[in-house]
Structure 1
Amino acid sequence: VAPLGDPSLFVLSPNSQMLKNIIFSTGKLIGGFNQNIEHYLTLLVNSGTEGQTTLNGQNVGGNFSQVSGTNLSYTRIKVPFGVNSVSNPEGLIGYVYGSGSIESYGFAIGASLENVQFETETRYEFEVEGEKVACLNQEGLWKIIPDDPKFINFSWDFGDGSISKSGQEVSHIFTKKGTYEVVITASTGTGACDSETEFKFEIEVTFVETELK
């Protein structure tokens, strides 16, 4: 009899991208032998919210353990084959996986991109009114502030045909009036398993007259 399992690969979700509820399905393994497949779900929640976690309508808050050195708790639960549901109003990260006699599978049950938030700020040598306004032919300093500190690499496309710029803070001069879409590509690193996302917003470029007193 072959032992359970086979190599499988997980793509991990950032802990900041927690879901509140999701429906997921366990995998079906097809092989040359009748397989006795066992399916499991690993959940990660914020410590103190374990009691709000339900799986298929049943509270599973009593099954969690603390992740050492963090404010997170985890549990590993055996789940039935087919469609399952899990929820926690304060957020959760989940991974489902299973093993048969010659095969295995595993995947993240989902992630919320709503928690990947960014803010931008612009500085000029004089005051400019409006949140997303740039000054024609004036150098502005642009800075992106991610909620998740794991995003460390940033590439800026200002939408005006200029060469993209890299860095958390960059300078730029718009030379034509109009409305431009600025696209910032943010990543957690340069490796194959690093996360990458885009942040987009529109900029109105206007001519600002200054009065000397």
Structure 2
Amino acid sequence: MREEQLLNSFKNPDEFKRLITNNDDLCNAADAFPEHAETLINIVLNKAEEFKRLITNSFYLRVTIGTFREHAGKIINILLNNSEEFARLIANNAELCNAARVFSEYSEALINSVLKNPERFKRLITNNYELCKTAYSFREHAGKIINTVFNNSDEFKRLITNIDDLYNAVNRFPEHAETLINVLLNNDDEFKRLITNIDDLYNAVTRFPKHAETLINNVP
């Protein structure tokens, strides 16, 4: 690619598509002609069609941000302000947690966008393992994550399905351990849901010895 070709493509959308066919072309052009990197990324940021065409998945999102580091905030803001793009590029829990690692300076904005959107929360945190993994990836915001579960009984039931899940959550959120255990001890419905047989009771007593007497006394 010659510089003259690149400059001409800036004036001609069809030529831009012909010259920059994929994300590799985009990033290679930025590396080859750093003086034109800002123009390149602005075309992508300002045209939804180009953003979708050249940033096709979370891998290329990371590559693009790595290449255009000075524009990382603008790229992330497109995700935060466009639910369709967020769903397209952060498709599952693994991608959410990878984003926390790669874009650590934007981790608060990312997790807040999940916590404030119930549908997104359900989509990206589908089970207890992912709940604990998300808390680990967004360690500074673990309290907000578990509070979302505490404050919604349906979410608590969805993500704490058995005594093992409760134990995992206690280990991942130690500062909230007593609150988690108290849900079991002080809510008859939750006790019956999580302690369904003698094995569950044994596991609970073994894992929460401090509360063994209360657990045993709670058995109907």
TM-score range, shorter chain: under 0.3
Q: Of the two structures, which has the highest relative contact order with CA contacts closer than 8 Å and spacing of 6 or more? A: 1
Relative to the length of structure 2, the TM-score reads 0.24
Relative to the length of structure 1, the TM-score reads 0.25
Instruction: Choose between structure 1 and 2: higher strand proportion.
Output: 1
